[in-house]
Structure 1
């Protein structure tokens, strides 16, 4: 037996076959545009009989769906049958789902030689794998096929995949009734061998990528550790890597500046961020909310039923948090956490004397929980700088939890904090791609545990994940459909970084093409505030990002930053202004050169200021 592993130039067609030299029989998979087909067929070698002047083969198979899509392929091979050097392939695809017939031709070359550079980063989040009990959002009988489909797609495209990042809430220790002890990550791993066993879906990905799978915790698996990754060991001995600190910066294919930042995103949400003041290992108030809902589900589910049978579960749990938050907002009530706990307890029928069993076996009461988090809003106000700025950003953190609102704002903030051009979050279970009128890109990977009634075609909550091209920074939201057999990019609309009011921010990029690192020396904000910490250093050959956000009102934004070369020399002063009133104009100065734009316009010629429009973008270059 020998094996064929070939693909076309852009990796959209991948052929993986086992072939028998003695009989010419072949079997394996043929992946085309995100769908993997199980195929079989045969081949014949040139010269094996008189008059046979070419090596040819034929395959047929399907995606094995209920309404199958059939594929037939034939090709001409160049090189030995055991190791073809090039294949000219003709494909026909007939869909049992929509009746379409497609044909395409392709040139394939071996994955081991002539293949494209590994440049794609796959981001998966919010799978929520637990113990398979009825209250857990991920139900193997429903969701296994989708996770397997994603893993199969990754394996089929392994020649082009640099890394897979599991971006939090891959495991779930929260969707557990109040009176039950949450499971350990080790227990969850051992309860799901079809995923985590040596030949499970994830371990097959580990082996296909040579171990290049990285995990970071979210809120539902916040207790996960690097030691837990040792319980996942593939057939070839690989285990996932582990990242701490909340943000992962994957290496770039060209080895240059790391300009992609990946984070679960819960750090910006008041109810689900790790709470350093919590006496229960950093547990946020959202943990206890989820536990109350799980207890209600345990009481009300019918025999044989799971939460996957109910609409609204997994997205996240069917309760209307938006109304709770908007009611508190309308009242000007900063005791929004108290309102949240009271409302959820009432909606779920949770008694006032309810006890919660924690992961270490200890118990706390609902009254203790209410007392512990009553000052949470004030804590966030202070953390966000106090005053008007702190109050506004604290409310944004509340709204980000309620319905994913303002996550675009925090995604952009993460980009400016990290000097990254692409940011991907999970957490909200809402796939998103793009920010309107900005110089960075934000996307959300969505989730993998939608309830059956919410799934297409009747529902709108599909299984999704993200693919980033590390060379071009193009971000694609991918949908996994038809029980995991169909994977293709989908269009999801962009969001606004500032969804309320007019954005009169200044967004600034400083490109350091000089020989010296630039060190932050000074900053001014005559109007507005710096929405993200300024880069302390802009290394030579890299860039830094600056965001001056305006306050509500008529002043707009106006400020400056000063950097000094590390080896000495004149200071570099960069000024920028985006006024609200039309009688004033946008303005900027600094750098060796600059270019600008405003709103959704295009970049102007060097040295030309886009005098009107908002927000205002400036790209300075220092030679």
Structure 2
């Protein structure tokens, strides 16, 4: 199946290249044969992806610049601005000023946001010298989405305050009270911002859904020498642990706001599990957050399709080190990444000194052992930890019942447990995990650091398939991004990543980021629009009264059919 996709992609690129060359040749011939023909440009607009011009949704006029002065009487009837519903000529005036034509929108009429428009110029348009355009021409325009903080009701082009937007966050990584008190939680400094953001979501009249793409809870980020479950603090199992996370002083306002969003009845809250909370269940999640929509699949995984052409999941399904591993040890699913995280948490807790040596790869399960050694070596070096002090062969990793592991383990023991069969079982593991297109071990290891590649391999390279998603949204990598695929000028899909809300000093990327997706099936547009935002303090305000606001980072749109 994948080989067919690659062949199809190669054919597609060949056709695109040939078409581009042919277009360039034809364009050159037109310029040579008809040097005096009218030519149109839009110098104030950006030409995106060699396909369309971008218009601000609140623009009041569109300026066309021609290479010759225009006969004013030839403009009417030979220039038409329209959308999917037909001509909009009743809503604008055409004003000619020499070689410039202005399309001026009437007062009270506004373009819809995230909408496709078309300008058609007929051969009847003439210059004062009598020249015209060579052939009838059409130009595509797309309006930007309306900024989240702009709640002005627009006019007759279909824009309104109807709820059509999906706000998507992921990777908050809330820890329990111990994690906050002992400073090994990834999440604390952005808690106030996230609480404010959730209030913003609740009060925004355009948001229809809040999708949390996993890792709201963090059951992994616990120093290896700390018992995750401890009856002295009433944490006896994973259920108690997740409840303790929700009730910690840092996190409780967050969960209160999520519950208030659900109680308001206006915004649906959807949850897709991640790797750091892969042991949570639908029943437990609904006990903590009543009324939340669970989008889980097999153990530790989930996926959500708000509309058929949009696929959303955490992304760890394709990550060799972090996906559920149900075949390594019967009855258990935690992957090797869990143990790397336990070591990392120890570094956060400032318990170790310097690194002296690292594990050497063995001949068995070479790819896994190499990746394990690199991951552990990086963590040791990052925190200047001493491998001898940690004693990798000693049973110092306190498990206390996590995923059914009751007794302490050693790091090397965990390594050997996975190395025994993780590679041999990889194909079967992917089948259990419902991976659409199985990959080899090496590629799956790379997916841990380059999740965009997983989106391409799993979803976007079968671009001729009728059921291929147009938009794929992941979390997991903590790297907020929007990319088009396969080429900037000829794309058939959009990859988006929601980033994270972990503490800024714990990330190499922007934090407090989120996606806003406006499905065309809900808005009535021909376009699916994907926007990436960061939630920042308003720099225009000074002093102690600064407020939070969403700041647009990037936006892309794609025709939904």
Structure 1 segment 314-393 matched on structure 2, within 5 A: 335-340=369-374, 343=377, 347=381, 348=385, 349=387, 350-351=390-391, 352-358=393-399, 360=401, 362-363=406-407, 364-374=409-419, 375-380=421-426, 393=440
What is the CA deviation profile of residues 3-36 of structure 1, one whole-angstrom value per residue up to 9, with x for unaligned ones? xxxxxxx99xxxxxxxxxxxxxxxxxxxxxxxxx
Does the 8 Å CA contact 1:411/1:423 hold for their aligned counterparts? no
Structure 1 counterpart SS, 2:447: helix
1:273 aligns with 2:330: no
Relative to structure 1, the CA distance from residue 406 to residue 172 in structure 2 (aligned partners, 3 Å threshold; closer, same or farther) is: same
CA distance in 1, matches of 2:337, 2:482: 26
Does the 8 Å CA contact 1:408/1:442 hold for their aligned counterparts? yes
Partner of 2:338: 287
Q: Which has the higher helix share?
A: 2
Does the 8 Å CA contact 1:431/1:445 hold for their aligned counterparts? yes
Runs of 5+ unmatched residues, structure 2: 1-56, 59-148, 230-240, 432-436, 521-526, 538-545
What is the CA deviation profile of residues 99-138 of structure 1, one whole-angstrom value per residue up to 9, with x for unaligned ones? xxxxx998559xxxx9533211111100001114234444
Q: Which has the higher strand share?
A: 1
Does the 8 Å CA contact 2:275/2:322 hold for their aligned counterparts? yes
In structure 2, which of residues 206, 225, 231 is the aligned counterpart of residue 179 of structure 1? 225
What is the CA deviation profile of residues 410-450 of structure 1, one whole-angstrom value per residue up to 9, with x for unaligned ones? 46359879632211000000011123324121111100003
Structure 2 counterpart SS, 1:439: strand
Structure 1 segment 118-133 matched on structure 2, within 5 A: 118-132=163-177, 133=179
What is the CA deviation profile of residues 442-473 of structure 1, one whole-angstrom value per residue up to 9, with x for unaligned ones? 1111000033486xxxx852320111001232
TM-score (norm 1): 0.49
Structure 1 segment 161-310 matched on structure 2, within 5 A: 161-182=207-228, 184-192=241-249, 195=252, 200-210=256-266, 212-232=268-288, 239-245=291-297, 246-252=301-307, 258-279=308-329, 281-300=332-351
CA distance in 1, matches of 2:380, 2:250: 38
Partner of 2:473: 424
Structure 2 counterpart SS, 1:478: strand
Task: Using the TM superposition, give the Cα deviation of residue 206 of structure 1 relative to its aligned residue in structure 2, in angstroms.
Answer: 1.9
Relative contact order (C-alpha < 8 Å, sep 6+): which is higher? 2
CA distance in 2, matches of 1:108, 1:464: 26
CA distance in 2, matches of 1:209, 1:151: 14
Q: Cα RMSD (Å) of the superposition? A: 4.3
CA distance in 2, matches of 1:415, 1:221: 31
Relative to structure 1, the CA distance from residue 108 to residue 283 in structure 2 (aligned partners, 3 Å threshold; closer, same or farther) is: same
Residue-pair matches, total = 353
In structure 2, which of residues 537, 540, 549 is the aligned counterpart of residue 486 of structure 1? 549
Does the 8 Å CA contact 2:473/2:496 hold for their aligned counterparts? yes
Structure 2 counterpart SS, 1:290: helix
Relative to structure 1, the CA distance from residue 345 to residue 469 in structure 2 (aligned partners, 3 Å threshold; closer, same or farther) is: closer
1:433 aligns with 2:482: yes
CA distance in 1, matches of 2:295, 2:430: 25
What is the CA deviation profile of residues 390-420 of structure 1, one whole-angstrom value per residue up to 9, with x for unaligned ones? 9974212111213546244346359879632
Task: Using the TM superposition, give the Cα deviation of residue 493 of structure 1 relative to its aligned residue in structure 2, in angstroms.
Answer: 10
Relative to structure 1, the CA distance from residue 484 to residue 430 in structure 2 (aligned partners, 3 Å threshold; closer, same or farther) is: farther
Relative to structure 1, the CA distance from residue 355 to residue 439 in structure 2 (aligned partners, 3 Å threshold; closer, same or farther) is: same
CA distance in 2, matches of 1:379, 1:197: 40
CA distance in 2, matches of 1:384, 1:138: 29
Task: Using the TM superposition, give the Cα deviation of residue 265 of structure 1 relative to its aligned residue in structure 2, in angstroms.
Answer: 0.3
Task: Using the TM superposition, give the Cα deviation of residue 172 of structure 1 relative to its aligned residue in structure 2, in angstroms.
Answer: 0.3
CA distance in 2, matches of 1:129, 1:369: 25
CA distance in 2, matches of 1:293, 1:250: 34
TM-score (norm 2): 0.54
CA distance in 2, matches of 1:250, 1:396: 25
Does the 8 Å CA contact 2:219/2:276 hold for their aligned counterparts? yes
Task: Using the TM superposition, give the Cα deviation of residue 370 of structure 1 relative to its aligned residue in structure 2, in angstroms.
Answer: 1.4
In structure 1, which of residues 462, 475, 484 is the aligned counterpart of residue 530 of structure 2? 475
Relative to structure 1, the CA distance from residue 415 to residue 204 in structure 2 (aligned partners, 3 Å threshold; closer, same or farther) is: farther
Runs of 5+ unmatched residues, structure 1: 1-9, 12-103, 253-257, 303-318, 495-541, 544-623
